Amino acid sequence: EPEVTQTPSHQVTQMGQEVILRCVPISNHLYFYWYRQILGQKVEFLVSFYNNEISEKSEIFDDQFSVERPDGSNFTLKIRSTKLEDSAMYFCASSEEGGPSNIQYFGAGTRLSVL
Amino acid sequence: SQKIEQNSEALNIQEGKTATLTCNYTNYSPAYLQWYRQDPGRGPVFLLLIRENEKEKRKERLKVTFDTTLKQSLFHITASQPADSATYLCALAGTASKLTFGTGTRLQVTL
């Protein structure tokens, strides 16, 4: 069964460093998302991406964050200068269609630890 | 502001019984409501979707109800099994694609 894959599974970085989290969405999906989950808290929407553009972003997704689809298969989330409070699980998701009826398929996540 | 509430306390039930989980929301008019399962250290996995004009949806041992007047959804697992033990997330979608999740309810099914 097709799945969303994320690498690395765990990323440790020093505060102020840049990190890039990588995702390979399901191949025929056109809509891509990043969510994060701070330990013990709810899953929070960061950004959605379609047709090489950001469709929607949350207040969390500030100028320190950026997304890119550098080729036909990868979807990346970059955090320019990490802060302690960026420590969380980051989930990539993809869906075949957009809109509120879309079913999103999530990857296993990247655990980001900022020291 | 929008609020989605799920029972933060874990639900412990015996194998074979029906588990019922609740999702309440305020200041929101979702077009769709979805339920996901999340295992420790893993991403959410889609289970069921119900539209605002549907009262009930079923899939195998799962049943979801959606009451837009009460602003509540109930999620039922019948004949529960230890393998059903996980955290169950309620997620709302309005007109856009983003999902707004509740905090989840942890279900523990014991023998």
pLDDT at A101: 85
- A61-109 pLDDT, tens digit each: 999 999 999 887 899 999 999 999 999 999 999 999 888 888 999 999 9
Residue B43 inside a domain? The answer is yes
Nearest chain A alpha carbon to B91: A43
Q: How far apart are CA B7 and CA B27, in angstroms?
A: 18
Residues of chain B with Cβ-Cβ distance to A104 below 8 Å are: 46, 99
| Contact B94/A at CB under 8 A | yes
Mean of the per-residue pLDDT values for chain A?
A: 95
Q: How far apart are CA A89 and CA A19, in angstroms?
A: 13
Considering its fold, how many domains does chain B have in total? 1
Ranges of each domain in chain A: 5-96
Question: Token digits for B52?
Answer: 């605002």
Interface test with B, best of A102, A105, A113 (most B CBs within 10 A): A102
Residues of chain A with Cβ-Cβ distance to B98 below 8 Å are: 33, 45, 48, 56, 58
Query: Domain residues for B58?
Result: 18-93
| Interchain contact, B43 vs A91, CB within 8 Å | yes
How many A/B residue pairs have CB atoms within 8 Å?
71
Spatial CA neighbour of A33 closest among B38, B101, B40, B37: B101
- What string of pLDDT tens digits covers the 111 residues of chain B? 778 999 878 999 999 999 999 999 988 888 899 999 999 989 999 999 999 889 899 999 999 999 989 999 999 999 999 999 999 999 998 777 899 999 999 999 999
- B48-57 pLDDT, tens digit each: 999 988 989 9
Percent of chain B with pLDDT over 70: 99
| Interchain contact, A109 vs B46, CB within 8 Å | no
The dihedral over CA atoms of A20, A28, B97, A102, expressed in degrees to the nearest 10, equals: -140
Residue listed under structure tokens 């008019």? B29
- According to DSSP, residue A41 is labeled S
CATH assignment of the domain containing B36:
2.60.40.10
**Min distance B11 CA to chain A CA atoms (Å):** 17
Q: How far apart are CA B74 and CA B6, in angstroms?
A: 10
Residues of chain A with Cβ-Cβ distance to B1 below 8 Å are: none
> Cis (ω within 30 of 0) for the bond into A8?
yes
pLDDT band at A14 (very low <50, low <70, confident <90, very high): very high
Helix, strand, coil % over all residues of chain A, rounded to 5: 5, 50, 50
Residue B1 inside a domain? The answer is no
| Interchain contact, A99 vs B45, CB within 8 Å | no
Q: Which CATH architecture has domain A5-96?
A: Sandwich (2.60)
DSSP 3-state of A85: helix
DSSP 3-state of A47: strand
